[in-house]
Amino acid sequence: MNAHPAAVTKLNAKALNVTRDRVDPNALDVVRRLRDAGFQALLVGGCVRDLLLGASPKDFDVATDATPEQVRRLFRRSRMVGRRFKIAHVHYGREFVEVSTFRKLLAANEKGDHAAHPNGLILRDNAYGTLDEDAFRRDFTVNALYYDPHGGEILDFVGGIDDIERHCLRCIGNPRERLREDPVRLLRAMRFQAKLGFALDAGITRDERLTAERLTAIPPARLFEEFVKLFLTGHAADAWRIVKTSRVRNVLFPTAPPDSPLILLAMDSTDRRVGENKPVTPGFLLAVMLWEDYRSRIEELMASRGTKRKPREAALVAAHETVAAQRATIAIPRRFSNFIHDIWHLQERLESRRPKQVHRTLSHLRFRAAYDFLLLRAEIGTVNRDLVRWWEEIQDADTERRDAMVNALRGSAPGGTRRRRRRRRGHRQDDG
Ligand code: ATP
Ligand code: MG
């Protein structure tokens, strides 16, 4: 596309409060060594954007004209990663710096290591390019700024500085084409809207419905990665507020009720945990988002005449169906679907408090997560608060107190041992 190099605006970085001491020393080291070897190397993308906004970037990416192979040869502790395009990770202890080679956007008819879908969807864009070409292949203007820590300059080919100042997210080039090329950019736009509080340029939302429908052509594994970035990076509540009123919700989470207070609470608590550096898992959020669907499937299964199902069996079938339906768009890795199944299954155990199962429930690997889920359900009033208090107390109780609490249940708890013993004398039974 760029027969002549594009016009670049060079700005004094220091005047914009972007200084080397705000940059990860490892990233500076990568830049310096690439330069010493005769290559171009600059910081790029989210880190430059965040520095300009006065925030501390979570990682620093380097762009260079060295090919991944050349990067690999230059840094002993580096490896190549990436399916969609090759990038190098240069390792420093447990951390690494991502180094990507300048690439260019190819028109559908150009030749190169590039494959374009008939409908304009980019499948691979591995054609190397120049610095300015690299700027134009990026998604939004505010993500296409470069920082040269040696020259002390910010390089702007696309008007990104203005958009940073205006707090505006704008596609580089024609939004219709850019979103058609890669509809995931709509999700990214929503993520940056939530994270940065930027407004989306009208071009991004104009064909929202169409772009959202096109997400169904994206590999579910990539959508799962995007799901994680949307909801597990500390801005889930805002992201959900944006997503739930858009067509994206219908396409990606067709069964998640947009106004479910449970989902809102879960998003809030996820953000709080991220803020406190506590572990978070996509399994928990998915368990919440799919909960209503799961429950109605159980009801349907139990109500369908002609099939006599035990509740436990119906729950299992419902859980599998619910997760399978979501997997049509978003891949859910096995460890997370196991997590979801466990959380749902444990809800029943926590609610029934069968004396014989209490100890086993308490020592279940997922007890704590299931208890957190129960807590959210109590907060919206669908579960008795006394029940939550009981589980809260028994978690922290010593053995003696635990036994006393369990004994107090016998005879009083509905669905207690009496009924079960009659039904299944002598057999150990995990679930009622
Ligand atoms: P964050 O701070 O959340 O990581 P980021 O802007 O660094 O935000 P990344 O997903 O890490 O986002 O991507 C790094 C850079 O790669 C982006 O800033 C952008 O320039 C470019 N990029 C990423 N995804 C795309 C895409 N789908 N299309 C075009 N450019 C992209
Ligand atoms: Mg990044």
CA angle 151, 154, 155 (to 5 degrees): 105
How far is the C-alpha of 252 from the C-alpha of 332, rounded, in Å? 13
CA angle 249, 251, 253 (to 5 degrees): 55
- Decide: helix, strand or coil at residue 10: strand
Number of separate helices (H) and strands (E) present in the chain = 22, 12
Taking only Cα atoms into account, the Rg of the chain, rounded to an integer number of angstroms, comes to 26
Taking a C-beta distance cutoff of 8 angstroms, is the pair 400, 312 a contact?
Answer: no
List alpha helices for 108-181, DSSP H.
131-136, 160-166, 175-181
Ligand 1 center from residue 302 Cα (angstroms) = 47
Q: Which is the catalytic residue, given 50, 132, 139, 182?
A: 139
pLDDT at residue number 105: 84
Task: List the one residue out of 149, 137, 156, 152 whose CA is nearest residue 34.
Answer: 149
Mean pLDDT to the nearest integer, 22-35: 98
| Residue whose CB lies within 8 A of the most ligand 1 atoms, among 143, 156, 233, for a mutation test | 143
Taking a C-beta distance cutoff of 8 angstroms, is the pair 103, 45 a contact?
Answer: no
Ramachandran angles phi, psi of 337, nearest 5°? -70, -35
Query: pLDDT-based confidence at 420, cuts 50/70/90?
Result: very low
Asked if residue 144 has its Cβ within 6 Å of ligand 1, the reply is: yes
pLDDT at residue number 85: 81
Distances (CA, A) of 414 to 105, 337, 419: 65, 30, 9
Closest ligand to C-alpha of residue 125 is: 1
Query: pLDDT-based confidence at 412, cuts 50/70/90?
Result: low
How far is the C-alpha of 361 from the C-alpha of 414, rounded, in Å? 17
pLDDT at residue number 132: 96
Ligand 2 center from residue 424 Cα (angstroms) = 57
| Residue whose CB lies within 8 A of the most ligand 1 atoms, among 164, 188, 204, for a mutation test | 188
Task: List the one residue out of 317, 17, 6, 4 whose CA is nearest residue 165.
Answer: 17
Catalytic residue at 59?
Answer: yes
Mean pLDDT to the nearest integer, 277-291: 97
Query: pLDDT-based confidence at 421, cuts 50/70/90?
Result: very low
Closest ligand to C-alpha of residue 178 is: 1
| 352-374 confidence digits (pLDDT tens) | 999 999 999 999 999 999 999 99
- CB-based neighbours (< 5 A) of ligand 2, an ion: 46
Catalytic residue at 139?
Answer: yes
How far is the C-alpha of 268 from the C-alpha of 278, rounded, in Å? 14
**Burial class of 213 by CB neighbour count within 10 A (0 to 12, 13 to 18, 19+):** middle
Asked if residue 185 has its Cβ within 6 Å of ligand 1, the reply is: yes
Question: Hey, how many other C-beta atoms are within 10 angstroms of the C-beta on 406?
Answer: 19
236 contacts: CB under 8 Å, gap ≥ 6: 230, 267, 268, 270, 271, 274, 285
Ligand 2 center from residue 12 Cα (angstroms) = 23
Residue found under tokens 């590039």: 114
Ligand 2 center from residue 57 Cα (angstroms) = 8
**Burial class of 187 by CB neighbour count within 10 A (0 to 12, 13 to 18, 19+):** buried
Strands (E), 145-237: 145-148, 153-156, 168-169, 199-200
**Burial class of 88 by CB neighbour count within 10 A (0 to 12, 13 to 18, 19+):** buried
Q: Is pLDDT above 90 for 185?
A: yes
| 236-257 confidence digits (pLDDT tens) | 999 999 999 999 999 999 999 9
Residue 103 has what DSSP assignment?
B
pLDDT at residue number 422: 47
How far is the C-alpha of 268 from the C-alpha of 375, rounded, in Å? 13
pLDDT at residue number 417: 45
Task: Report residue 280 CA to chain centroid gap.
Answer: 11
Asked if residue 239 has its Cβ within 6 Å of ligand 1, the reply is: no
Asked if residue 149 has its Cβ within 6 Å of ligand 1, the reply is: no
Of all protein residues, the one whose alpha carbon is nearest to atom 2 of ligand 1 is 46
Q: Is pLDDT above 70 for 335?
A: yes
| 286-320 confidence digits (pLDDT tens) | 999 999 999 999 999 998 877 778 889 999 999 99
Structure tokens at 281: 């898992």
pTM: 0.89
Q: Is pLDDT above 50 for 90?
A: yes
